[in-house]
Structure 1
């Protein structure tokens, strides 16, 4: 996938940020990427028209608000924005309608108006919940995504998919609500647990398989892609830019997942089975996606769509990132029930995104339950 990256220094910048633009019919938005971006948040929002006196509700969790909340508040207040903060408990198990109610309560207490803003400071869970709360408060407030996990930086914060989980499945309650801007500061990954960083690498590998073989090969060439230090600052910046450009291109072509955007679900259909049946929070989203990609690749080999050699390259890179590659031993009927409840099912058919080569995928909805179970049993 082509990169769409240009330098975009701000007045306060010591080094220029890189900017990827998401072009949409109703108006695009920037993804600013670079070291120190967090301290430039206020000036960046001022450039977007968020002027003195506007109210901002910053939603975060304790792990992120502790090290970064004060810096975000100071930057926002430096341009005259009126800042209110809400700190929610962390974890996928918090991604429920109850948490959305807490954000709505905070919006009411802060007297947010239609000219106000919600800002998500955290990982994908915070971003999804804040985006959904913004979409549904006063029939829609603007939201800015400030992701602090690798997974959110390369995927969850971009594209406007928001929502919460239902006991029957992941993200079944949600809305499309594009952000006004995305601000990515790789320095915030310094406090990210190693397990969370590795989970984010699953989404990075996904982009390589679905459309960017050069990214995949770049990761293969890394001595240690399982950590921020192992990747190094230069390669990490390139990873963030390439993934943002890839996501921006797909979203611009298919904002509401009517067609092409479905390729971004590579590894997710079977990965959501892992998340749901394991219990939300026990297996991280990226870990589940990693297992889902291995399973989808095995299914693709079974169907003759791609080679065992490419499947082995994918499995090896996933393992090198410290991610799981084995399918859990779920009861067959439970796995099938979960698959059929997936929000991507069309006319009762489960749609699988399957690799046909490094850099290309196909979508199939004609695979029998028996064949799926047969492949999964071999991966246990």
Structure 2
């Protein structure tokens, strides 16, 4: 049975399915609004590498706002194509399909009376979308901006708000999980190219911990610190460099240099820190020891950079609240952006960096350490972070 949605139910249903997507988010919309509104409509799950994210639009007679286009293009799993005279609005999320009158704009979902139908048996819609997708042209750049008349009509906030767009507060968490995905892709390449450092394997390093050490070497310990200049910009690689597998050759060369300089046991402090956190957590909620909470905080490198937060975390939070939040984080069947935001919200002065570092220390086989060193290292090898 097909379901008709309108008003607040329309936007709430769409956002809920986008947040829960596991494999696919396909969108057809001739008008795509500013990124702030788009985030509220579809959330940030589309950034994840396991999501097949396709955007079908019309850049000639419709528009996609430049800020949204730029953000979409930063995710390697995103593909944008343009189909001239597209008028349909389709939202395909996994096996859920919404056919609607609403464009992907804040104006459509918050200031217009729109309607949508949830379609059962989506195979025909998937086939149609794919047919249009094959006809469409890949978008590598945007044409001149459309007239203000069009953009004001289709994407404006000056009209009376009829329905509330959902809040979007998990941007940093979504970005962290996106970076984890990219780190994992790099780690797989690193392992296939190098075969890993056997001394580190014997000492108990996980693959992600070894790659973190490798990135730290490139940023701090190599004489030329080759990744240090890529704290913001991605290193541009020519087509010739890519085709000649320059990245793989550089990974192997720097790996060999790192291995030559690695003294057995020099990374033991990392293993000790990881093992101590895993021994302390999870807490007994009824009687968490403040001393052990302090020990966990002492293991978080980011709190050395923001040292004023550590005493505040200890003095302005109930130990049980801290223990309960940390247990929730590490005992969850899977960690998503919403969970990270919940944990951050339950502990004053315990921020995004601290939560992500705690995850990496506790789950060294599942979650990498995302920091300045790793981000710069990935940018050095051409990864968009």
> Fold-level match, TM-score > 0.5?
no
Which fold has the larger relative contact order, with Cα–Cα distance below 8 Å and residues 6 or more apart in sequence? 2
- Superposition TM-score tier, normalisation by shorter sequence: under 0.3
Q: Which has the higher strand share?
A: 1
Instruction: Report which of the two structures shows the higher radius of gyration computed on alpha carbons.
Output: 2
TM-score (norm. length: structure 2): 0.24
